[in-house]
Structure 1
Amino acid sequence: MLLGTEVKALREGRSNLGDAFVRIDDMEAFVHQLHIGPYSAGSFLNHEPLRKRKLLLHKKQIKRIMGLVKIKGYTIILTRIYVTSAGRFKAEIALAKGKTQGDKREASPGE
């Protein structure tokens, strides 16, 4: 769930999804490391840029995600945040597999 200044900052394009990932805690989904910069017209009541944010999901969806994440090496990442025609912000998440040691060796150092 987003605060008012976070919504306004997102509308200004002040977000960075680079390190964002989703973690399930006590049957609730939270986005970690999502950077939403401070709102330009905000006062001292601006939000914390890297706070943990709750995702609104159904229990059935959370259980399905938990089953997929139990497989070693998989994590859930945030791929994009978009605005619906009704003006609501939605987050698109995806299941991703981390690189193995062999994959890391194959990648060139410049990448």
Structure 2
Amino acid sequence: MVKERGRRLVAQNRRARHDYHIEDTFEAGLVLTGTEVKSLRAGRASLVDGYAVVIDGEAWLQGVHIPEYTQGTWTNHAPRRSRKLLLHRKEIDRIDAATRERGVTVVPLSLYFKDGRAKVEIALARGKRAYDKREAIAKREAEREAARALAARRRGRYEE
């Protein structure tokens, strides 16, 4: 059997970078059942409502939706069950200390396979205010406009 190499993205939480200021990121392993792994290999998962918490010194991923495996039988899993995160003790302590601070949460950014093992990238995040989001959108639009003008200039068409 061929050993899987590299990183293969399963799901990404694009809204997380829009709704939060990302302060720090961690890569964590996941404790999964067989049908969850098969469902992930089929590319089915949603991180939209997901978050992580530290309970009794253990990190847990909650709210992540991994749909039931279509060929699964009575051994199928619950789609939104809590899943244990595999992190180093220092990382768990750092996450726990940060989440005790007001306004800081832990959100999943992406779910992927790395060398055949399921991993999730989680981030310490602070919620953005509405004006922060508008500011980010305005900045992105300005960068696009500048790139568009630069490309037009390179092609020989000057736009004023």
- Tell whether the structures are fold-level matches, with TM greater than 0.5: yes
State TM-score, norm by structure 2: 0.61
Partner of 1:33: 63
Counterpart selection for 1:71 from 76, 95, 101: 101
CA distance in 1: counterparts of 2:128 and 2:110, whole angstroms: 21
The 5 Å alignment of 1:1-111 reads 1-85=31-115, 87-100=116-129, 103=130
CA distance in 2: counterparts of 1:24 and 1:99, whole angstroms: 23
Runs (4 or more) in structure 1 with deviation over 3 Å come to none
CA distance in 1: counterparts of 2:128 and 2:86, whole angstroms: 29
Between stretches 90-99 and 48-57, larger displacement belongs to 90-99
How many percent of aligned residue pairs carry the same amino acid?
45
3-state SS of paired residue (1:55): strand
**RMSD across aligned positions (CA):** 1.5
State TM-score, norm by structure 1: 0.86
3-state SS of paired residue (2:36): helix
CA distance in 1: counterparts of 2:39 and 2:121, whole angstroms: 18
CA distance in 2: counterparts of 1:72 and 1:78, whole angstroms: 19
In the alignment, structure 2 segments of 5+ residues that lack a partner are 1-30, 135-160
CA distance in 1: counterparts of 2:33 and 2:93, whole angstroms: 26
Structure index of larger Rg: 2
**Count of residue pairs the alignment pairs up:** 103
CA displacement, residues 2-33 of structure 1 (integer Å, 9 cap, x when unaligned):
00000000001110000110000000000000
Higher RCO by CA contacts (8 Å cutoff, separation 6 or greater): 2
In the alignment, structure 1 segments of 5+ residues that lack a partner are none
CA displacement, residues 36-94 of structure 1 (integer Å, 9 cap, x when unaligned):
00111111221000000000111111111112112211100011111112x10111001
